[in-house]
Amino acid sequence: MTQATLLSIQVAQPQTYGREDAVDENDRLWTTAFFKQPITGPAEVTPLGIVGDGQADLRFHGGVDKAVLTYSADHFPFWKQEHTQVDWSGGAFGENLTVAGLTEDTVCIGDVFQLGGARLEVSQPRQPCWKLSRRWRIADLARQVTQNGRSGWYVRVLEPGAIDAGEPLQLLERPHPTWNITRAQQLMYFEKKNLAAAAEIAALPQLAESWREVFQERIAKRT
């Protein structure tokens, strides 16, 4: 694995944008913490995320299993080629941590990384929602991310601590080397009849509970 590095840290609190009387649905009222802004200097990571960060919809965002969203800057050249009108840079995908040297192909469920004073564990792929599309006014952007797998991933915080841009991510543990983020995404979206694989991934103790429930439900329905 090449050297993985934290390039930038982004946080935001929920804010309301738009107007009630807007004709264009992209301009109508909505509340989101998607517009992450970079911070300078160290940030404190807790089991519920980075201090100063928040989520607008706690039904689908935040919590212990999705404490911190990570995205690979290695994908930015691809996106710049696909959508030249957007400045693809740190925070563009609503991520807290923008990293280099890691992708969905090289990160696995259950991986444990040391980053500064914090210890982080990979819990699930990121599932893009409509807010990503609305943020950039690209109607099918969330679908594109689902199709090409350049989604990012969530981590839970095993050990709180301070982190800072420029620090390396050191892989400490890899208990499930056959379950990278890409394979987990394929199973979620494109291999829904593969019950054997669903049972296998559902048994991983490090998998986020919401994902485990999806796979267990698939198995129960077809049994």
pLDDT at 128: 94
Q: Would you say 29 and 18 are in contact if contact means Cβ atoms under 8 Å apart?
A: yes
Name the token pair of 121.
């564990």
Predicted confidence at residue 68, as pLDDT, reads 98
Kindly state the tokens that stand for 38: 């970079």
- Sorted by where each begins, the domain ranges of the chain are 4-176
The pLDDT tens digits of the residues spanning 195-206 come to: 999 999 999 999
Task: For 47-94, write each residue's pLDDT tens digit.
Answer: 999 999 998 776 667 799 999 999 999 999 999 999 999 999 999 999
| Average pLDDT, integer, range 3-12 | 97
pLDDT, tens digit, for every residue of 130-153?
A: 999 999 999 999 999 999 999 999
Q: Residue-wise over 21-42: b if at least 16 C-beta within 10 A, else e?
A: eeeeeeeeebebbbebeebeee
Q: What is the pLDDT of residue 1?
A: 55
Fold of 4-176: M1 Pyruvate Kinase; Domain 3 (2.40.33)
So what's the pLDDT on residue 151? 97
**For residues 88 and 186, what is the distance between their CA atoms, to the nearest angstrom?**
25
Q: Tokens 């693809």 identify what position?
A: 88
Do residues 7 and 39 lie in contact, with contact meaning Cβ atoms separated by under 8 Å?
Answer: no
Residue 223 pLDDT greater than 90, yes or no? no
Predicted TM-score (pTM) of this structure: 0.95
- The pLDDT, as a whole number, for residue 77 is 98
